């Protein structure tokens, strides 16, 4: 099969011929139709996250099962599938209480610890595949169907972490990025009263508004907290969701929170930031971390899209061979929403 391979952290992806994978016991192989390309993958490609090479990256797949190994139940040839991309044990206390992103026996990530979807075929533990529901036309829309497992599921979990209710005003920091625009969509889907997009690239605001933002704040002038307070009549926002996660966004996010405000941070590269304990106390602020999503939230996200309530925003679709050029654009933050490789 053809695959885009990362041969060393930080090097360019190269198109290689690799052996077709065959499933062992408990495994299945899917033909890849499309695979999303986002920042999580790019951080691994760029060597900012630990990765063993050579490796085939990519986890936001739409695939069709072509072979199953011994003992596999519930998957058959022809099934349309995506992937749950955390490799979890399913048995520890965290897995048992539906918090498997905290798995005590965490095995890493599809596309980082094991080969992923930047290839014509992908082999995974059968339990890592998630079948598409009836009503989701994955053959016609493989790119959109493939990104749901992260781009919709991760924001869905954030709405729960933040206990988002329809009276809440929400600000999304890094709103123009791949997860950011989908966070705007899911916050709108969750009936937030007001959704505010914050980004340093004003060129992305048109897409933010299209995704459901009621207002936009250009963070490049360093007056984000003041602007958010103006937009809320001085009361402050109820929920701040930060995909950038350095002091430059986390500190204004906290300053802009009103009473009872919740901050959710989920950037993979979170740095340190300062917060006054007195402010946390006075306003009863909550600071929350949120990792990916549960398998159940992936299934629910697929169903939300199948019902037509949210539709993913995939703005660039390129061939497998053009993956490296796409990652160059990801590196420069030139992609609004999600991008995807069209494989099969």
Q: Which of 35, 87, 95, 245 binds Zn ion (CB under 5 A)?
A: 95
103 makes contact with Zn ion (CB under 5 A): yes
**Structural contact between residues 205 and 184, judged by C-beta atoms closer than 8 angstroms:** no
Residue pair 112/49 in contact (Cβ under 8 Å)? The answer is yes
Query: Which H or E run includes 304?
Result: helix 295-306
> Which residue lies nearer to Zn ion by CB, 86 or 138?
86
Q: Does 87 bind Zn ion (CB under 5 A)?
A: no
Among 89, 287, 288, 306, binds Zn ion (CB under 5 A): 89
Contact yes or no for 218/199 (Cβ under 8 A)? yes
CA distance 32 to 278: 52
User: Are the CB atoms for 63 and 33 separated by under 8 Å?
Assistant: yes
Q: What is the largest CA-CA distance in the chain?
A: 62
- 3 touches Zn ion (CB under 5 A): no
What is the nearest approach in angstroms of Zn ion to the Cβ of residue 127? 12
Nearest distance from C-beta of residue 104 to Zn ion, angstroms: 5
Question: Quick check: 13 and 57 in contact, CB under 8 A?
Answer: yes
From 89-97, 186-194, 280-288, 301-309, span contacting Zn ion (CB under 5 A): 89-97
Give yes or no for a contact between 45 and 132, defined as CB atoms under 8 angstroms apart.
no
Interface with Zn ion: number of residues (CB under 5 A) = 5
- Residue 92 is a binding residue for Zn ion (CB under 5 A): yes
The DSSP 8-state label assigned to residue 316 in this structure reads E
Q: Which span (71-79, 96-104, 109-117, 213-221) binds Zn ion, by CB under 5 A? A: 96-104
In angstroms, give the least distance from the CB of 43 to Zn ion.
24
Sites for Zn ion among residues 290-309 (CB under 5 A)? none
User: Between 37 and 103, whose beta carbon lies closer to Zn ion?
Assistant: 103
Binding site for Zn ion (CB under 5 A): 88-89, 92, 95, 103
């Amino acid at each position: 099969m053809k695959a885009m391979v990362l041969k060393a952290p930080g090097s360019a992806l190269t198109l290689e011929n690799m052996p077709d994978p065959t499933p062992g016991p408990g495994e299945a192989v899917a033909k890849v139709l499309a695979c999303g390309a986002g920042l999580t993958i790019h951080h691994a490609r760029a060597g900012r996250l630990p990765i063993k090479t050579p490796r085939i990256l990519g986890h936001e797949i739409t695939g069709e099962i072509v072979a199953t190994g011994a003992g596999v139940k519930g998957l058959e040839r022809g099934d349309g599938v995506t992937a749950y991309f955390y490799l979890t044990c399913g048995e520890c206390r965290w897995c048992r209480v539906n918090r498997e992103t905290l798995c005590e026996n965490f095995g890493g990530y599809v596309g980082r610890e094991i080969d992923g979807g930047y290839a014509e075929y992908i082999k995974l533990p059968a339990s890592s595949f998630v079948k598409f529901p009836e009503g989701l036309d994955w053959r016609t829309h493989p790119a959109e169907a493939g990104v749901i497992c992260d781009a919709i599921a991760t924001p869905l979990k954030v709405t729960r972490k933040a206990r988002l209710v329809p009276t809440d005003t929400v600000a999304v920091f890094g709103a123009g990025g791949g997860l950011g625009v989908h966070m705007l969509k899911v916050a709108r889907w969750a009936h937030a009263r007001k959704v505010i997009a914050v980004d340093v690239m004003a060129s992305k605001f048109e897409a933010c508004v299209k995704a459901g933002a009621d207002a936009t704040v250009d963070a490049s002038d360093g007056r984000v907290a003041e602007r958010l307070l103006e937009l809320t009549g001085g009361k402050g926002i109820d929920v701040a969701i930060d995909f950038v996660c350095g002091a430059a966004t986390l500190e204004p996010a906290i300053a802009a929170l009103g009473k009872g405000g919740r901050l959710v941070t989920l950037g993979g590269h979170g740095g340190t930031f300062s917060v006054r304990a007195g402010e946390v106390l006075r306003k009863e602020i909550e600071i929350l971390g949120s990792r990916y999503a549960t398998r159940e939230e992936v299934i629910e996200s697929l169903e939300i899209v199948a019902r037509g309530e949210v539709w993913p925003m995939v703005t660039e679709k390129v061939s497998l061979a053009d993956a490296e050029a796409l990652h160059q654009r990801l590196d420069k933050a030139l992609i609004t929403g999600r991008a995807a490789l069209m494989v099969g």
